[in-house]
Amino acid sequence: MSRFQSKRPPEAMDAATIEEIVVYNMEKAERMLVDAKAALSPETSVNRAYYVVFYATTALLATEGKTGRSHSGLRETFGKDFVHPCIVPKELSTLYGKLEMRRYQADYGDRIILTDEDAQESIAQAQEFLRQIFFVLQRIMPKTFGGKHITF
């Protein structure tokens, strides 16, 4: 079990635990971005770019004590709780979908050849997604993210 998987229901988490989970997942998203940029193949870059979005979304949902039980559940909760109420721009939902589809192609697609251009586009999309989530977190958690500057 990872250090943040818990049998406690999300509503039982205290503010310090939520903050720790948010910070951990944002740091992991940043590491995935570094990995995406350094990857030796387009498929690996695309995979890591998707996980930038996955971990940034996990961090954002954690601010409300929520998690996704699956990749699709995470995306669905993100849409319901953050896109539809206009907390994040609708474009982020579109980026999420594109990166999820491209990651699926990279990992499971038969006879699909991803190019360096596909990888660079995915990296740019993931970086924009991460940047936007960082700005939202600055508003939601100013004590934690307010004084931080983007390093990606």
Helices (DSSP H) in 70-141: which residue ranges?
71-78, 90-108, 116-140
The model's confidence at residue 11, banded by pLDDT at 50, 70 and 90, is: low
For 47-84, write each residue's pLDDT tens digit. 999 999 999 999 999 999 888 788 988 999 999 999 99
pLDDT of residue 148: 75
pLDDT higher than threshold 80 for residue 8? no
Residue 151 lies in a domain: no
Residue 8 lies in a domain: no
Phi, psi dihedrals of residue 146, rounded to the nearest 5°: -60, -40
Residue 87 lies in a domain: yes
Residue 9 lies in a domain: no
Q: What is the mean pLDDT of the chain?
A: 89
pLDDT of residue 3: 43
What is the residue-wise DSSP string for 40-67? SSHHHHHHHHHHHHHHHHHHHHHTTT--
pTM of the model: 0.88
The arithmetic mean of pLDDT across residues 29-46, rounded, is 96
Query: Taking a C-beta distance cutoff of 8 angstroms, is the pair 28, 35 a contact?
Result: no
The model's confidence at residue 112, banded by pLDDT at 50, 70 and 90, is: confident
Report the percentage of the chain scoring pLDDT > 70: 91
Q: Which of the residue ranges 19-23, 59-63, 107-111 would you say has the lowest mean pLDDT?
A: 107-111
**Domain of 135: which CATH number?**
1.20.120.330
115 burial via Cβ count (<10 Å: 0-12, 13-18, 19+): exposed
Residue 52: domain span: 14-145
Give the chain's domain count: 1
pLDDT of residue 135: 94
